[in-house]
Amino acid sequence: MESPLFDPRKLVELAWYKMPFGKYKDRFLSDLPEFYVVWFKQKGFPEGKLGQHMEAVYDMKLNGIEDMLREIRKQYPKPVK
């Protein structure tokens, strides 16, 4: 599994990725409350791309750099799927 933090295209994708379900549905992952992301870390991140992105956001929040994703959204357009 390659971290999205080392691929500029994946980093832009991560910046625009939204929570697909639950109380925080349609919120950017970088805007999820820290306690919520920590809860997922303790219980286990979902499978697939969502889990990979949530784990990356967890690491960014842990290091205090999640604002970088907000800046990316200001500077780069949403990637086309």
Average pLDDT, the chain: 91
Residue 24 has a pLDDT of 97
Return phi, psi of residue 11, to 5°.
-65, -40
Mean pLDDT of 58-70: 94
Partners of 28 in the beta sheet?
18
SS3 content of the chain, % helix, strand, coil (to 5): 60, 0, 35
- In the chain, where the domains are located: 14-75
In angstroms, rounded to a whole number, what is the distance separating the alpha carbons of residues 65 and 12? 14
- Residue 81 pLDDT class (50, 70, 90 cuts): low
